[in-house]
Amino acid sequence: MGDEKKRRINGFLLLFLFVIIFLSLISFFIHPIPTKNIFGLTGYYLSKLLFHSFGLSTFILPFLLLLASISLFKNDVKKFFYKYGAFTVGLFIVLLLSISLLPVGYMKKGYLGKIAGSFLVSKIGIYGSIILIAFLFFILIYSFSHLVFHITIMHIPSRKKLKKQERIPLATLGTRNVPTKNKVSQGLQKRQFSHPISSINNYSDKFLKILTEPIQEGKEGRRYLKELSFRVEEKLKDFGVNGRVVNTIVGPVITRFEYKPSPGIKISKIEALADDLAMALRAEKIRILAPIPGKEVVGIEIPNRNREIVFLKELLTTETFLSNNSPLFIPVGKDITGEPYFADIWDMPHLLVAGATGSGKSVFLNAMIASILYKAGPERVRFIMIDPKRIELSIYNGIPHLLGSVITEADTAMRALKQALHCMEERYKEFAKIGVRDIKGYNEKQKEKMAYIIFVIDELADLLLSKGREVESALIRLAQMARAVGIHLVLATQRPSVDVITGLIKANFPSRISFQVASRNDAKTIMDNTGAEKLLGRGDMLFIPPKSGSPIRLHGPYISTEETKKIVYLIGGKYIEGLMKHNFKRSDEIAKLIIEEDVLDAIANPLVPAGEERLENFARFLEREIGVSANEFKRFVEELEYYPPLLEFDMPLPVTTEEGYLEGEWDELFEEAKRIVIRHGTASASLLQRKLKIGFARAGRLIDQLEKAGIVGPFKGSKSRDVLIKE
């Protein structure tokens, strides 16, 4: 029988005992004779014993059984029973002492109540006893005021108070026992989100109002373009290349001249003249596309004198974007003709982004995340963000779309990846049970929808340096299998070298974006071709779209850090207001002050840099400004689970070793290892490494298992272990 089933059976038994005792007490109080008790002699004598001992306060005691029963059903004895049980015991003591001072009969006071009352009166008098009991009652109500408030509104809080050492950046992760099937099933069926973005009035208008209005830049004049095309022809002729410009395409950032060389001219010769042509035309950088796919011309791309900024707002208000219902449909930028270009992450299904510092990589990530936030609430899309640099993605800590606060530690990032793999497996099991192939089919069939999960890793190189092989294998497995279950990866790095973007990663990330990189080698690594080193920076990119091997040049959308922060505050401010409305009367004013004082990220996760100090200062400020108790606010933050749960992601993670099997299981090579050590009469990790051709970690674990099984002796320093069993 599983642990969960046992727990539920015990819960039912306690509930049954509560019903028996409570109804017996009521029967005894109404008719104190054996034949009238609802549970006969047993109920009569049990009730008589309790009433003789405690009097009327006895009615409080059965509720301890009810609380214990509920705590077993909720699987949270420590949080639920200890808190509410302590309050119930305190109420019982106060009631027992209060009744003991009243002029009522023996049965209503109880033997213990009578003794307690007599003792109090003899020591401090009747008035002193009344004052003492009133003081105890006040202390009880004050100590458990938050519980009394929640009970009054018939709401039992479900937020877990975490100790400092227990609060990790991704609160949903942990290394716990393997889940039972019942737990898994419940996790996939229950999804509750307190405040999706739909609760914000005129959300779209408020969102777009934050973004900068697009500015219409002056286009390159026809006369200038004609003159420039003539100069291109002349300069190429100077280098021994004859031909003519047959077409000119003016984009927001560059102008492409389609140049048709004369017969007999080698394309490679034109391609090699890029730097010479740039110097001759006094251009910053010239990129030569030789040839343009599907055409018999060479593309010569020259920067415009007045470069247009592609603002995100312009792309979000297009009919193409608004009419697409996919929450993963994002604006990538504008092409060289100035037309908006969009892509669906579902089709990618993962994205690899590279670019040097200042090239626009982080701005693109912000624009992508913002476009998803514009369309989808946390019930549709959730994010896991990993930022080893600690500066780029931490701005998003306030949005409820996160599964946990932004991860900055490599160990926590690794646990997140393992949890994603486990979530993937459980979703596949659910799909098989429902009879669907992917998340789209599941959401069409089921009333409760599955949320897409997007992993955003801002600096892949730092993560690989810390946890190289583990991270790479987890990413590759997710890239190969996770699309169908709605888990997508967006990896970004500013160092696209071969030790970061390995062949395996490239093979599983066909969709890639390269911003300006430092060298031709970096360009070849990320795009399998040169050209990215000739980009202009500030959002100028090459994009390999889904199901295509040829890169296209785009200019990414711009969103400022300040705009991103305002979007987070728009969503997070409304969300925290909703969380506070049952705890504070002026929740709207408090939420406004939280935004003004910039402490939303510290409320979401007090362990952000200087988070606890900022919260302490804000709590005092709040008490000073609008009279909200500083201690009450700090207690609310301590008990707050900020990010809405996604229960299938919060399922217990099987503790697996580096080799992939479960902690506590015997290794599949255990029997073979046992035969080897018995046959050789000695046991060491190096022996098992040689004979079984395995790594040192697995060999050491096998030795430990052999010791637990009583086959080999304890550790003896540098000597081999004794074998305790003969062949």
For residue 169, is pLDDT > 70?
Answer: no
For residue 189, is pLDDT > 60?
Answer: no
Q: Which range is most confident: 105-114, 556-565, 618-627, 715-724?
A: 556-565
Which pairing describes strands 512-514 and 287-289: parallel, antiparallel, or unpaired?
unpaired
For residue 315, is pLDDT > 80?
Answer: yes
Residue type, 614: R
Q: How high is the pLDDT of residue 198? A: 67
Q: How high is the pLDDT of residue 158? A: 36
Residue type, 645: P
Q: How high is the pLDDT of residue 424? A: 92
For residue 151, is pLDDT > 50?
Answer: no
**Alpha carbon distance 86, 89 (integer Å):** 5
Q: What is the mean pLDDT of residues 428-441?
A: 92
- SS3 for 514-556 is ECCCCCHHHHHHHHCCCCHHHCCCCCEEEEECCCCCCCEEEEC
Is residue 155 very low, low, confident or very high in pLDDT (cuts 50, 70, 90)?
very low
623 or 8, which is more confident = 623
Q: What share of the chain is helix, strand, coil (3-state, %, to 5)?
A: 55, 10, 35
What is the share, in percent, of the chain residues with pLDDT greater than 70?
86
Selection from 454, 314, 295 nearest residue 386 by Cα: 454
Instruction: Please state the domain extents for the chain.
Output: 3-152, 222-303, 659-727
**Alpha carbon distance 611, 642 (integer Å):** 15
What are 242-268's pLDDT values in tens digits? 999 999 998 888 899 999 998 888 888
Is residue 180 very low, low, confident or very high in pLDDT (cuts 50, 70, 90)?
very low
Is residue 215 very low, low, confident or very high in pLDDT (cuts 50, 70, 90)?
confident
Q: Which range is most confident: 129-133, 469-473, 474-478?
A: 474-478
Encoding tokens for residue 287? 């990129």
What are 487-527's pLDDT values in tens digits? 999 999 988 888 888 888 888 899 999 999 988 899 999 98
Burial class of residue 361, CB neighbours in 10 A (0-12, 13-18, 19+)? buried
Is residue 58 very low, low, confident or very high in pLDDT (cuts 50, 70, 90)?
confident
A 10 A CB-CB count for 178 gives 16
Q: How high is the pLDDT of residue 75? A: 63
Q: Which of 193-197, 209-213, 587-591 has the lowest mean pLDDT?
A: 193-197
Q: What is the mean pLDDT of residues 428-448?
A: 91
What are 565-606's pLDDT values in tens digits? 999 999 999 999 988 988 888 889 999 999 999 999 999 888
Q: How high is the pLDDT of residue 483? A: 93
Q: How high is the pLDDT of residue 140? A: 77
Helix (H, G, I), strand (E, B) or coil at 205: helix
Distance (Å) of CA 422 to CA 8, 437, 478: 25, 18, 10
Q: How high is the pLDDT of residue 13? A: 87
Which pairing describes strands 540-544 and 512-514: parallel, antiparallel, or unpaired?
antiparallel
Q: How high is the pLDDT of residue 153? A: 36
Is residue 15 very low, low, confident or very high in pLDDT (cuts 50, 70, 90)?
confident
Q: How high is the pLDDT of residue 212? A: 92
Yes or no: say if 278 and 260 are a contact pair by the CB < 8 Å rule: no
Is residue 3 very low, low, confident or very high in pLDDT (cuts 50, 70, 90)?
low
What is the share, in percent, of the chain residues with pLDDT greater than 90?
30
Q: What is the CATH number of domain 659-727?
A: 1.10.10.10
For residue 628, is pLDDT > 80?
Answer: yes
A 10 A CB-CB count for 267 gives 12
**Alpha carbon distance 615, 637 (integer Å):** 9
Q: What is the DSSP letter of 79?
A: I
315 or 144, which is more confident = 315
Q: Which CATH code of 3.20.20.140, 3.40.50.970, 3.30.980.40, 3.40.50.2300 fits the domain covering 222-303? A: 3.30.980.40
Q: How high is the pLDDT of residue 171? A: 40
Which residues have a Cβ under 8 Å from the Cβ of 505 and sit 6 or more positions away? 352, 472, 475, 476, 479, 491
Q: What is the mean pLDDT of the chain?
A: 82
For residue 19, is pLDDT > 60?
Answer: yes
401 or 89, which is more confident = 401
Q: What is the mean pLDDT of residues 697-701?
A: 77
Q: How high is the pLDDT of residue 170? A: 44
Q: What is the mean pLDDT of residues 324-339?
A: 92
For residue 152, is pLDDT > 70?
Answer: no
Residue by residue, DSSP assigns 315-347 as HHTSHHHHT---TTEEEEEEETTS-EEEEETTT
A 10 A CB-CB count for 12 gives 12
For residue 172, is pLDDT > 60?
Answer: no
Yes or no: say if 200 and 378 are a contact pair by the CB < 8 Å rule: no
Helix (H, G, I), strand (E, B) or coil at 618: helix
What are 640-698's pLDDT values in tens digits? 888 888 777 765 444 444 444 444 557 778 888 988 988 888 888 878 877 887 776 67
Q: How high is the pLDDT of residue 47? A: 83
